[in-house]
Structure 1
Amino acid sequence: MKVTDPVCKMVIDDKDAVATSTYKGITYYFCSKACKEDFDKNPESFISRMPKMEEMIAAIAEKGSEHPLAEAIIKRANMMGLSRPDYETFEAIPGHGVMVVYEGKEILIGNRRLMKDRGIPYEDKEAIISDLEEKGNTVMIVAREKKLMGFIAVADTLKENAGDVIKGLKTEKIEVIMLTGDNERTAKAIGNRIGIEKIISNVLPGDKAKVIKELQTEGKVVAMVGDGINDSPALAQADIGIAIGSGSDVAKETGGIILVRDDLRNVIKGIKLSRATMRKIKQNLFWAFIYNTIGIPIAAFGLLNPMIAAAAMALSSLSVVSNSALLKRVKI
């Protein structure tokens, strides 16, 4: 386990570490502007006329993806009692989305990058997507057989005390940065809600560690907070990797510090405890150095009874242990 040195001045938060996607946050489900107006008038009726789309989404999520968006979608499908049919092929495309072949037809769910790579036009719906993103939604584009079908917009729910944690980190004079694969509009909307000004968005999973390394080359000591498989390289690269206990096993194995409870306030507690530990280490080294500096010359000249020297040595060790035990009284 690494100990956070007092010179640590930067904490990188993965977006999913401060916000959670839930089935309750799935707010829109439409294929065009006209469909959106229809949805706004009668949401329940609109959704009931489109069970096939939700079945396909459920089939993709059933694959067992640990992505928060997939988990939110599958929970919603379960809540609505929808069946989850088998599919012929499944492919997760990191940083882009997923591809599934269902009933012989290719279905894509992902972001703009995925649609551009597959040559699927969506630009005429850009205004709708942008409007949803500016409200803090993560928008997924759905296409079947190279044709745009619709959108899924998932509103992230901020984790409890997320805003207070960011404020607390700033009080400790620590710079906070949000690192996310989401687009800039969605990331800024969430950042504004919790007080994070500096945001690095549109980062592919494999590039998160590169961002951390670039910050380190600037001489900054970086802590990374994450909970997903995609965060593992960044957690390993950071000076201090902090894994959320409710996250993936890979992230927990990579992190130097694991927050057992899914409570972001423990990030601040961990930093304060680590700093207190460093202070105790330095205090113990100081007193041990002073003891040896004074005691060894006296003993060398035969001015110290061996029994007294042994007792003094024992007392020195006792003082170090006692001073370390005072960590239990540190208020974090």
Structure 2
Amino acid sequence: MTKGKPEVTDVLTFQEDMLDYAVSAESGSEHPLARAIIDHGKQQEISMKPLEHFSAIPRHGVEAVIDRKTVLVGTRKLMEERSINVSQYEAQMAKLEQQGKTAMLVAIDGELAGIIAVADTIKETSKEAIQALKQLDVEVYMATGDNKRTAEAIAKEVGVDQVYAEVLPEDKANIVEELQKQGKLVAMVGDGINDAPALAKADIGMAIGTGADVAIETADVTLVGGDLAHIPKAIQLSRKTMKNIRQNLFWALFYNTIGIPVAASGLLEPWIAGAAMAFSSVSVVANALRLKRVTI
């Protein structure tokens, strides 16, 4: 739903040089949020401090040692696990998250040093694509690793009613299975390596063409480009295709049910029967070729 190019929108500083340490700590990460913080640091002409130690904490953030100081950059859960009190800044974090921003917390030597808010821009066509899916009577769910407030803010903006927030990569396949147990046919749309299990589990896996190769290989359908508007178009085209197939089966069965007994009774000359059979095949092919003129 988003462009995948997050940018830093707000920086709240509670300790001097907080941003210097945060940018330096994130220099060891390849995560999109980390790249956003690094790019912001470059814009602010911040000099990188050398990393004495670095480790990524999956889904929670990073830990680094810089100038013999332990620096943490990540989520509330990371701070809670390290017994760092963030309660006094809860209102500020909530305000940022309600605006659809991800609040990254920065701690230095066990003390909260600042908050860096990062936001990703929603694609122009996402809202239209969601509305188009609803018009096709398709229920839309969003599964994301973002916190609940941020996820709900984004979902509200694009028109998604059902949201799974703070989802770990392995949980996406479980969500698909849960919906299937409710009797739903599930189409999963994803673009990352972590989406592959859910794409495989779904009744129909749809990979974004600009995504990871493993996602494309796992999915049943690959949508060219990164435009979500291709999803309702794919569904509409598939429905028209199935309708066309049912038409062909009906008319072929109807035609042969009448024609074969007449031919078997000897009431038709062989050349007439052959011509009639050829006409039957031509009519089916001609009906199928109408799909080439479909505009969605």
Using structure 1 for the length normalisation, give the TM-score: 0.78
Q: How many percent identity over aligned positions?
A: 49
Greater length-normalized contact order (CA 8 Å, ≥ 6 residues apart): 1
Matches within 5 A, 1:272-311: 272-311=236-275
Aligned to 2:201: 237
Q: Secondary structure at the match of 1:139?
A: strand
Distance (Å, rounded) in 1 between the aligned partners of 2:138 and 2:170: 25
Partner in structure 1 of residue 28 of structure 2: 60
C-alpha distance after superposition, 1:261-280 (max 9, x if no partner): 22221112111111111111
Q: Is the contact between residue 21 and residue 154 of structure 1 (CA under 8 Å) also seen in structure 2?
A: no
Note closer, same or farther for the CA distance 1:92–1:255 as it changes in structure 2 (3 Å cut). Answer: farther
Q: In the TM superposition, what is the alpha-carbon distance from 1:120 to its structure 2 partner? A: 3.2
Aligned to 2:285: 321
Asked if 1:252 corresponds to 2:216, the answer is yes
Q: 1:27 aligns with which of 1, 4, 9?
A: 9
Aligned to 2:99: 135
CA separation of 1:55 and 1:316: change in aligned 2, threshold 3 A: same
Distance 1:198 1:75, change over 3 A: same
Which deviates more, 255-264 or 128-137? 255-264
Cα distance in 2, alignment partners of residues 100 and 166 from structure 1:
40
Shift of 1:144: 4.2
Q: Give the aligned CA root-mean-square deviation in angstroms.
A: 2.7
Within a 5 Å distance, the mapping from 1:1-332 to structure 2 comes to 18-23=1-6, 25-32=7-14, 50-57=19-26, 59-61=27-29, 64-65=30-31, 68-77=32-41, 79=43, 87=51, 91-100=55-64, 106-332=70-296
Quote how far apart the aligned CAs of 1:152 are.
1.9
Q: Identify the range of structure 1 (306-315 vs 266-275) with the bigger mean alpha-carbon deviation.
A: 306-315
> What CA distance in whole angstroms lies between the structure 2 residues aligned with 1:214 and 1:274?
25
Displacement of 1:79:
4.9
Unaligned runs of 5+ in 1: 1-17, 36-45
- Given that residues 93 and 103 in structure 2 are in contact (C-alpha distance below 8 angstroms), is that contact kept between their aligned partners in structure 1? yes
Q: Report the Cα offset of residue 110 of structure 1.
A: 2.2
What's the TM-score once normalised by structure 2's chain length?
Answer: 0.87
In the comparison of the two structures, how many residue pairs are matched? Answer: 296
Cα offsets for 1:215-259 (capped at 9, x unmatched): 111111122222222222222222222222222222222222222
